[in-house]
A and B are shown apart, each in its own frame.
Chain A
Amino acid sequence: MQKKKKSKRLGYLMLLPALAVILLIQIYPFLDGFKLSFTNSNLLSPGKEKFIGVQNYIDILTKDKEFYSSLSFSFIYAISIVVFSYVLGMLIAALLNMNMKGRGIYRAVILMPWVIAPMVMAANWLWLLNDQFGLINHVLMELKIIEKPILFLTTRYMSRFTVTMIGVWKNLPFMTITLLAGMQGIPGELYEAARIDGGGKIKSFFYITLPSLRSVSKVSVTLLLIWAFNGFENIFLLTEGGPSGNTMVLPIYAYNTAFFRSKMGYASAASVLMLLCMIVLCLINQKFSRNNE
């Protein structure tokens, strides 16, 4: 007994450094941000910070049009990314799960959009989508699909479509790889039995593969929803939220409010609201996936 107690203390001690980092660098700033959201803290007038109660929240919710437009595009953006990545990821995972030579190479290639620096990828997309020298416009024109170059990132609806599709492109690898991992965990006997019973490949996909992937799907969809909703870099590096705020999402809106307009308190309140929206989104997602069972 004495010995067991002693050894547990070792466990606590080993946890200590990580706990200290998490408390100091994640939890403390988080709580501080919460506090900040009830003040009029402004970078331009340091030291004149005053407690103003829920005034920031009232201002955002009653007057701030930009907040609402960012909020709605944030929802559309995150949900589209999850839906498209899930469907496409499922198809690609099913493809890669077939008996093929060189699977490791395909897997490495497919992971690229996910692991290469967002800045590098954004720069290359800007180049590919360029209206004068971009490869994509060039190919589409050669094929006579379009007559004039498409302005991918500078018109209202097109820019929203483009940043969302690049978001899908970026998150597809994660979905594909986790779903593929899930598929590889399904015992082969199940398919064997289905074949003996005379079920076709498509039937066994719907009756064996999909149900077996339920828990993997739940985890990866929730994670992706959170990442997409909190995502800053993808859109920021492509359009900075433009043209004229059309691709503005909440993280970029909060960033601009804090670091361009210097309104730290106001931006913190917006971030707290962002967290609340995300929690709501996750709850809806959970309810939805439970109904499906």
Chain B
Amino acid sequence: MKRAISRMIMYLVTFAVCFLLALPVISMFGTSLKTKTMAMSDLGMFPKFQDVYLGNFSKVLHVESFVKSIFNSIFVSVVAMIFCVLIAAFAGYAISRFKGKIFSGFIGLLLVLQMLPMMLTLIPMFMIYKGLGLNNTHAGLIVAYISFSLTFAIWLLKGFFDSVPMELEESGLIDGCSQFQAFIRIILPISKPGLATVAIFTFVRSWNEYMMARILIQTDELKTINLALQKFVQENLVDWSLLSAGAVIATVPTLLFLLFAQKYLVQGLMAGAVKG
């Protein structure tokens, strides 16, 4: 009996913690299902079942600038993701398989770079971009995003390659492949889950990023989804249900990511933190 009660308390506390941490997300879904007036008058989290209103989603998807920003975000994030995964796969393999001063020095460099305040590189980067004509272009933002996610991507992929046994390449080498061929034909295909995780991870990072986009993009046409949402907040302070629908759409990739790649992300975090 005492055991049962303590178990119940344990579950209750866990639910309370989860509720508090997820509160803004829950409220966002609730508000997106209300009409504009209901959002102001009905202060319950969710509307009553018969009052559920889906119009906000179709309305927000008819706001041209918002839809444009979704496509901008997809484009920028996908291109940054492809380059980032490619570059990180090479580098991650190199530091996983080769030993020596240069490789350990590179690992040290990755760690030190984590410390740089982003503002310190963004101010000069803005000036450099201005000189090169990259300011206010998607290309410039993509380049920034590649470097923004690269460190963590290399780190995660190194972890994945570390767990692939050396013997696999050695068998390839015996069959007459060069080591590079063995990497391309044997290691990369085996590491598909790892590559996919890193790909999703870098995609979500770029998709969610705000500060660089804010500094490097000025034209409405080129804005990413977060900038569009912010403009929304400033302009539509009265229509929170519409805004919430926009926010829900902006959250979809992240929620999918949580659903599918959470396990790997946690493993990556674990490996990074435990190994220190």
B contact residues vs A (CB 8 Å cutoff): 10-11, 13-14, 17-18, 20-25, 27-28, 31, 39-40, 43, 45, 86-88, 90-91, 93-95, 97-98, 100, 102-103, 106, 109, 113-128, 143-144, 146-147, 150, 154, 179-180, 204, 207-208, 210-211, 215, 225-226, 229-230, 233, 240, 243-244, 247, 250-251, 254-255, 257-259, 262-263, 265-266, 269-270, 272-274, 276
Please state if B121 and A124 are interface contacts (CB–CB under 8 Å).
no
Which B residues lie within 8 Å of A107 (CB)?
Answer: 262, 266
Q: Which of A152-160, A175-183, A190-198 contacts B (4 or more CB under 8 A)?
A: A175-183
Partner of A127, one of B86, B119, B154, B240: B240
- Nearest chain A residue, comparing its CB with the CB of B89: A14
Please state if A118 and B120 are interface contacts (CB–CB under 8 Å).
no
Partner of A126, one of B143, B225, B233, B263: B233
- Starting from the known contacts A15-B90, A115-B204, 16 additional A-B residue pairs (CB-CB under 8 Å) come to A14-B94, A25-B143, A104-B262, A107-B262, A110-B18, A112-B21, A113-B21, A115-B254, A119-B230, A127-B244, A177-B269, A219-B272, A219-B276, A254-B120, A268-B123, A278-B117
Please state if B120 and A109 are interface contacts (CB–CB under 8 Å).
no
> A117 vs B247: C-alpha distance in the bound complex, in angstroms?
9
Please state if A268 and B269 are interface contacts (CB–CB under 8 Å).
no
Please state if A218 and B114 are interface contacts (CB–CB under 8 Å).
no
Q: Taking chain A's interface residues, is the majority helix, strand, or loop, or is none over half, making it mixed? A: helix
Which B residues lie within 8 Å of A28 (CB)?
Answer: 128
Q: Which of A50-58, A91-99, A143-151, A202-210 contacts B (4 or more CB under 8 A)?
A: A91-99
Interface size class of A (residues with CB under 8 A): 35 or more
Q: Which of A60-68, A79-87, A225-233, A284-292 contacts B (4 or more CB under 8 A)?
A: A225-233
Say yes or no: A21-B87 contact (C-beta < 8 A), given A177-B269, A271-B117: yes
Which A residues lie within 8 Å of B25 (CB)?
Answer: 112, 116, 124
